[in-house]
Structure 1
Amino acid sequence: MLYNTLRQYEYLIAVAELRSLTEAARRLNVSQPSLSVAVTRIEERLGTRVFLRRKGAPVEITPQGHRLLGRIRELLLLAEGIERSSDSPPPFVLGCFEDLAPLQLAQALEHLRSRFPAVSFEGAEGRFSDLATALDEGRVDLAISYDVGFGARFERCVLKTILPVAFLAPEHPLARQETLTLQELAAHPLIFFSEELSEGFMTALFKAMRLSPTVGHRVRSLEMMRSLAAHGAGIGISYSSPPSSICYDGRRVTTVPISTTDAATEIALIWPRLRDTDPTFLEIVAALESSFG
């Protein structure tokens, strides 16, 4: 429970700056006896002697008081910042799934800035769970993502339906095929993303098809998946497919489309149902929907 108000903390700052209860009372527009009683009560609640007050002498600040006053100033600045931020709208934050971001986020932000010059836009990247939490907590306004792991508490605007791809070493026996099925892949060691939502989605997909794949590696990034696949450590499965066939370490990786229709998922604009969908927000959604490629 908070016992002291911001106004009471302002009392301490005024006394510290003016080194006089009388002058501080004049600035604060309160009586000097009331201010003196208030300061005493604040000190009692804090359990710290902030000032040394002697009749006819300037108020002195104790060492403990100096430390406390520094923290109080930080608190008051934070409170002022919160009130000032309500006067001007915060930037609109467009989130994007991490693997999609290099392909989609920069051009989406460029398009929005040209369409809505009066709105300030920022971008943010994240995995599925990161984006879901950021949307719930209001740190991201709208996200471009595969619709994986976002529950019924989110609204969606579908941009595109896609199938995953498989990453293989060029010498892998399946690398020469034009397309692959999940049934064919399940017979080989696979590389999954280690994020719980992503792996859970893939596991459920194989289970629904009554397949029991062997997961040889779990990775956190798309490039790690491609690199392991290029070195023959397994077959990576991803819904993101970079245009280059060269990995970071210079090895070549082969990308083969997966044709299993049950594996299709959607790229969507996603936002919380509890969000206030003002006209500008809906216009932004419409602008991204029309520009998506």
Structure 2
Amino acid sequence: MLYLTLRQFEYVSAVGRFGSLSGAAAQLNVSQPSLSVAITQVERRLGRKLFIRRRGAPVELTDFGRDYLAKVEDILSQARQLDDPARTRHATVGRLTLGLFEDLAPLHIGRLLDAVRSKLPGAEIRYRIADFETLARDMLQSRIDIAVTFDLGLDASFLRRPLTSVQPHALMRIDDPLADLREVSLKDLSQRALILFEEGLSVRHVLGLFRRIGAEPIVHHRVRALEVMRSLAAHGEGIGIAYSGPLGGSAYDGEPLASVPITEDFAWEPIILARSLDGAKSAIVHPASQAIVDAFDHA
């Protein structure tokens, strides 16, 4: 007799995809406490932790959880096909998992999924949003087929295809002395309190930009989310440096926010399409990759 149900597998999949109990609960139309209890029941049955859950922090998959989630998603995919007569008549022509760096995902995920699904209407397209380290590991372990990310932290084990380049912006209060400038230099920012992302490669990259001009910047805050950076910057807690948007307008709480481009050419950062050279390559990787390239070309 099977103890775990497909519904419980759906709960595991949703929490893994959303990275939060609240987001998964809203998607599944269940209460957050009910979802939490269901996940605990699955973990007790398995005798292993699937997720690291800390108050006030995103839910993270354990190493065991990542492997288990991949198997769960395979089971759910097969179950959906068996439950859908149309899918049973028209077999899936392939399956692809697209990875996106977490700061780029909000800007690009919708149109990239549209582009890939339009190119491959019979394929099953999944996605995973993660940090640099997780994307690299999952590509090497064939959990992710291709990924849209910044060209940071990838060695010769990966094939890269340039998509575009983005200019960093300095985020600040609208009454900051620098806010009315058309652009600012790293030298302008070198003596100001900065707000940087906590992610290791991101921090090292930005600090490296300042070292190229012989400066040691002052880091006042390290954050994990763009909206936190924007809020702190809008309220005068420092100047944020970000490569992804929305960059100007207002912070999440409505406080006005200024965004000024950083002028140095060497500060521009390429966005790339990456895949592991040694990873398993399905027949749909090439057309999916071309659909993503075309989406960036037409943006």
Please tell me the TM-score bracket, short chain as reference. Answer: 0.5 to 0.7
Aligned AA (1:130): T
Residue 274 of structure 1 is aligned with which of 275, 278, 293? 278
Q: Deviations over 1:46-75 (max 9, x none)?
A: xxxxxxxxxxxxxxxxxxxxxxxx99xxxx
1:257 has 2:261 as partner: yes
SS state of the match for residue 136, structure 2?
helix
1:127 has 2:131 as partner: yes
Q: Residues 86-235 of structure 1: matches in 2 within 5 Å? A: 91-235=95-239
CA distance in 1 between partners of 2:269 and 2:131 (Å): 16
SS state of the match for residue 253, structure 1?
strand
Task: Judge which range, 87-96 or 118-127, deviates more.
Answer: 87-96
Aligned residues: 215
Structure 2 residue runs of 5 or longer lacking an equivalent are: 2-44, 47-70, 79-90
Is 1:92–1:120's contact at 8 Å kept on the other side of the alignment?
Answer: yes
SS state of the match for residue 288, structure 2?
helix
Aligned AA (2:212): A
Task: Judge which range, 135-144 or 258-267, deviates more.
Answer: 135-144
CA radius of gyration, larger in: 1
Is 1:165–1:241's contact at 8 Å kept on the other side of the alignment?
Answer: no
SS state of the match for residue 284, structure 2?
helix
Is 1:189–1:234's contact at 8 Å kept on the other side of the alignment?
Answer: yes
CA distance in 1 between partners of 2:140 and 2:213 (Å): 33
Aligned AA (1:188): R
Is 1:191–1:219's contact at 8 Å kept on the other side of the alignment?
Answer: yes
CA distance in 2 between partners of 1:142 and 1:238 (Å): 24
Residue 242 of structure 2 is aligned with which of 238, 245, 255? 238
Runs of 4+ in structure 1 displaced over 6 angstroms?
87-90
Could you tell me the percent identity over the aligned residues?
A: 35
Give the aligned CA root-mean-square deviation in angstroms. Answer: 2.4
CA distance in 1 between partners of 2:248 and 2:213 (Å): 31
Q: Deviations over 1:132-187 (max 9, x none)?
A: 22222222111111112222211111001221111011111111101011111111
Is 2:96–2:285's contact at 8 Å kept on the other side of the alignment?
Answer: no
TM-score normalised by the chain length of structure 2:
0.66
CA distance in 1 between partners of 2:271 and 2:256 (Å): 27
| Residues 1:232 and 1:249: Cα distance change in structure 2 (over 3 Å) | same
> How far does residue 210 in structure 1 lie from its aligned partner after superposition?
1.2
Task: Judge which range, 145-154 or 183-192, deviates more.
Answer: 145-154
| Residues 1:143 and 1:240: Cα distance change in structure 2 (over 3 Å) | same
CA distance in 2 between partners of 1:231 and 1:219 (Å): 15
> How far does residue 205 in structure 1 lie from its aligned partner after superposition?
2.0
| Residues 1:256 and 1:101: Cα distance change in structure 2 (over 3 Å) | same
> How far does residue 256 in structure 1 lie from its aligned partner after superposition?
0.7
> How far does residue 279 in structure 1 lie from its aligned partner after superposition?
4.5
Is 1:228–1:234's contact at 8 Å kept on the other side of the alignment?
Answer: yes
Q: Deviations over 1:256-275 (max 9, x none)?
A: 11111111110110111112
CA distance in 1 between partners of 2:198 and 2:135 (Å): 16
CA distance in 2 between partners of 1:90 and 1:244 (Å): 40
1:288 has 2:292 as partner: yes
